[in-house]
Amino acid sequence: MGRVSSIEEPTAKISSIFIYPIKSCRGISVSQAPISLTGFRWDRQWVVVNSKGKAYTQRVEPKLALVEVELPKDAFTEGWEPTRTSYLVLRAPGMDELKVCLGKQCGKADGGVSVWEWSGSALDEGEEPSKWFSTYLAKPSRLLRFNAVSETRAVDPKYAPGFKIMFSDHYPFLLISQGSLDALNKLLKHPVPINRFRPNILVDGCEPFSEDLWKDLRISKFRFQGVKLCSRSKIPTINQETGIVGSELSETLKEFRSDKVLHPNKKQEGKVYFGQNLVCQDSLSEGKGKTIRVGDSVYVFSRASSPAV
């Protein structure tokens, strides 16, 4: 991938960046985010699990949408490391504020953790977070942290061999364009905000759903690859401000974003798609200065002939 000439116009620009420290809990809008081996730093580094170590998500616990998560502002600066006075702060309706120390040593969780098809060991944040989530969800729960020292969770090698994630569903980054959201909202009686789709990167300035075909791209000076459209679960139907499930969004997406519509000649699985999953080639190499910022330009170098699903 060669240099972008100074006269070449970007395809889009980043308008927002979102990090979701705890899987299925509320995201954080940030002005910049360092790139790590598994996506943006801090993204899906924690997960809430049941008594058997199985991950909770909004699919079965929509109340997780109401859990606000806060990290120190400096946490999104490259090279920052936590101390014993650095905290992950949690807030939820009817609950006292919880502070989880980022600098403490955690023991391994009994029984480990399972997220979809993957299972491994994890670090247990202790009794206080366990009691907090158990009270909030009204069932036995624990807060676990990904054990990056001993565990590796690989991305599907069919689509992105060699890449890794923590507790994300499938891929390190999810990108959506404002144009796509606007096009969807024109079809809805009740427009929805971008938090329904929980992207990491929101871009503006491109045509609706043009990101479906982005194959090789550059954001700032970093090389990314579009690998697969994001198949959507129940979560976009959940109002992220109330935790209440609706039906209009799901029905509308089926009308124009289903596999039947996008790939009528392929085997139908009843899925709907919104957003493009990405991997970052430069995340695999050594070096500093790997930070993406709001306002960064997006240059697309090649496009697929049809969306990969």
Regarding pTM above 0.85, the answer is yes
Cα–Cα distances (Å) from 298 to 31, 32, 220, in that order, read 16, 15, 7
- Dist CA 274 CA 112 (whole Å): 32
Count CB atoms within 10 A of the CB of residue 259.
20
Q: What is the structure's pLDDT at 285?
A: 78
Sequence-separated (6 or more) residues with CB below 8 Å from residue 158: none
Q: What is the structure's pLDDT at 288?
A: 80
Assess contact for 2 and 136: CB atoms under 8 A.
no
Cα–Cα distances (Å) from 169 to 50, 55, 191, 285, in that order, read 17, 11, 26, 23
Q: What is the structure's pLDDT at 5?
A: 41
- Dist CA 171 CA 248 (whole Å): 27
Q: What are the backbone dihedrals phi and psi of residue 224, each rounded to the nearest 5 degrees, phi first? A: -125, 160
pLDDT along the chain (309 residues), means of 10: 57 98 98 96 98 96 98 95 96 98 90 94 97 98 96 95 96 98 97 98 98 97 96 95 94 94 87 97 83 98 89
Sequence-separated (6 or more) residues with CB below 8 Å from residue 228: 159, 171, 276, 277, 308, 309
Alpha helices in 140-194 (DSSP H): 178-185
How many residues comprise the chain? Answer: 309
Q: What is the structure's pLDDT at 104?
A: 86
Q: What is the structure's pLDDT at 6?
A: 44
Q: What long-range pairs does 148-151 form, CB within 8 A, spacing at least 24?
A: 148/38, 150/120, 150/121, 151/120, 151/121, 151/122
Beta bridge partners, 99, equal 89
Assess contact for 53 and 111: CB atoms under 8 A.
yes
Q: What are the backbone dihedrals phi and psi of residue 113, each rounded to the nearest 5 degrees, phi first? A: -140, 150
Q: What is the structure's pLDDT at 4?
A: 45
